[in-house]
């Protein structure tokens, strides 16, 4: 399935069938251009704040400066300002314009309920930059769920997801064009399981793509796809994000690839040695990520559906959209 077809809504969507729904309205898939399929333009990521050791507390409270970038690169989730993209609207607009200058056309904004999705601001950004922005429907990880969300039935959750695509999100008429990223923890919680089931049911109604944030275990992506499939999802229109921090064994990655979802390597440009959420993980470099794609796709009778991008959070990872695009186009 081509990227252009992937982002289209399903045949059961009448006037929207075969179109891509942006925050400014539906467009033809040919209008997408180069597309980054997992980014965050407005969000708060306080749910993932990681307190630093006492000797480093001062660094955690400083603004983002050249003098502390050395520390931020290895401890990006220990500085509160670094987790607030909603304070960086003008900077994000500049990033979008740079992305457009180097050939970019569209961005999928995967911020969902729980981490401060802001479709109003996304609409303004799209209007002022000319970049197509596709907003994500749904819910992030359990730690961000409200008590109301946790108490909802699968049917109620499904209705919310469908309405965010058909009617509008966050009390507006600005519509989402993808479900996700749907946040999952490890182990998966009951609330997250219900949301996965609702995601599958909503996708079956809408025919739209789905993006999943898996828990931090190599078994998590397998469990998630199983739940989605059992609930009626279209796995061929499902993206499993963050695999470059989730599955490190080549054999297991190939086994997962056979299940039919898109494989997303979305930490390009970070180039950090460690993974702050798991000290046992040695993060791959960009070159290693590219080599993994080449190894996994070579010798296959079909091209495994890999997606590569930068998932540009937290705030200190600016100027990555165009840089990442050029880097990968050069190396690949």
- What are the residue ranges spanned by the domains of the chain? 3-45+84-331
pLDDT at res. 189 = 99
Q: How far apart are CA 18 and CA 16, in angstroms?
A: 6
Q: What per-residue confidence (pLDDT) applies to 316?
A: 58
Q: For residue 66, give every residue at least 6 positions away whose Cβ sits within 8 Å of its Cβ, in sequence order, or none.
A: none
d(CA 107, CA 32): 9
pLDDT at 247 > cutoff 80: yes
Cα torsion at 196, 197, 199, 203 (round to 10°)? 140
How far apart CA 236 and CA 258 sit, in angstroms, is 11
Tell me which of 1-5, 99-103, 164-168 is least confident: 1-5
Strands, DSSP E only, in the chain? 20-22, 25-27, 34-39, 104-109, 132-137, 178-183, 210-213, 238-240, 262-265, 274-275, 278-282, 306-308
Strand boundaries in 153-256, DSSP class E = 178-183, 210-213, 238-240
pLDDT score at 284: 82
> What integer pLDDT is reported at residue 322 of this predicted model?
39
Mean pLDDT of 30-52: 93
Q: Is 84 helix (H, G, I), strand (E, B) or coil?
A: strand
- Specify the higher pLDDT residue, 31 or 268: 31
DSSP class of residue 80 equals G
- For residues 276 and 78, is the Cβ–Cβ distance under 8 A? yes
The highest-level CATH class for domain 3-45+84-331 is: alpha beta
H-run or E-run covering 283? none
Q: What is the predicted pLDDT for the residue at 214? A: 98
DSSP, res 44:
B
CB 167 within 8 A of CB 173: yes
Bigger pLDDT: 46 or 151? 151
CA distance 172 to 282: 42
Residue 314: helix, strand or coil by DSSP?
coil
Which residue(s) pair with 135 in the sheet? 109
321 pLDDT band, cuts 50/70/90, is very low
**H or E, element range at 298:** none
Percent of the chain at pLDDT > 90 equals 64
pLDDT tens digits, 248-294? 998 999 999 999 999 998 877 777 777 778 777 778 888 888 787 76
Q: How far apart are CA 51 and CA 21, in angstroms?
A: 39
Residue 61 scores a pLDDT above 80: yes
What pLDDT score does 283 carry? Answer: 81
- What is the band of 149 on the pLDDT scale with cuts at 50, 70, 90? very high
59 membership: H or E segment, kind and range: helix 57-61
Element (H, E) at 322: helix 321-331
User: Does residue 3 surpass a pLDDT of 70?
Assistant: no
H helix or E strand, kind and range, residue 287: helix 286-297
Q: Are 47 and 114 spatial neighbours (Cβ–Cβ below 8 Å)?
A: yes
Q: pLDDT at residue 110 above 70?
A: yes
| Stretch among 18-27, 54-63, 107-116, 204-213 having the lowest mean pLDDT | 54-63
Q: List, in order, residues 6 or more apart from 145 with CB less than 8 Å away.
A: 114, 139, 191
DSSP state of 211: E
Lowest mean pLDDT across 14-18, 23-27, 243-247 = 14-18
């Amino acid at each position: 399935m081509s990227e252009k077809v992937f982002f289209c809504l399903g045949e059961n969507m009448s006037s929207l069938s075969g179109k891509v729904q942006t925050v400014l309205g539906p467009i033809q898939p040919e209008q997408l251009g180069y597309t980054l399929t997992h980014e965050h333009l407005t969000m708060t990521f306080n749910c993932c704040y990681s307190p630093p050791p006492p000797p480093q507390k001062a660094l955690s409270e400083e603004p983002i400066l050249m003098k502390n970038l050395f520390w931020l690169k290895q401890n990006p989730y220990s500085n509160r300002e670094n987790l607030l993209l909603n304070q960086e609207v003008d900077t994000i607009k500049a990033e979008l314009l740079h992305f457009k200058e180097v050939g970019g056309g569209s961005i999928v904004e995967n911020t969902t309920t729980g981490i401060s999705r802001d479709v109003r601001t996304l609409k303004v950004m799209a209007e002022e930059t000319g970049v197509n922005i596709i907003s994500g429907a749904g819910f992030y990880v359990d730690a961000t769920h409200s008590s109301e969300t946790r108490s909802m039935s699968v049917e109620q959750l499904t209705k919310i997801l469908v309405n965010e695509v058909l009617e509008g999100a966050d009390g507006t008429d600005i519509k989402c064009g993808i479900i996700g990223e749907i946040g999952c923890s490890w182990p998966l919680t009951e609330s997250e399981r219900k949301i996965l089931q609702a995601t599958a049911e909503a996708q079956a109604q809408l025919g739209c793509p789905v993006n999943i944030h898996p828990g931090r275990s190599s078994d998590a992506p397998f469990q998630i796809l199983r739940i989605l499939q059992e609930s009626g999802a279209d796995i061929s229109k499902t993206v499993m994000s963050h695999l470059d921090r989730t599955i490190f064994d080549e054999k297991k990655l190939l086994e997962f690839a056979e299940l039919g979802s898109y494989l997303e390597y979305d930490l390009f440009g970070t180039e950090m040695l460690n993974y702050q959420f798991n000290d046992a993980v040695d993060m791959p470099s960009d070159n290693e990520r590219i080599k993994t794609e080449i190894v996994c796709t070579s010798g296959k009778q079909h091209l495994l559906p890999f997606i590569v991008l930068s998932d540009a959070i937290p705030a200190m990872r600016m100027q990555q959209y165009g840089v990442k695009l050029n880097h990968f186009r050069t190396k690949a």
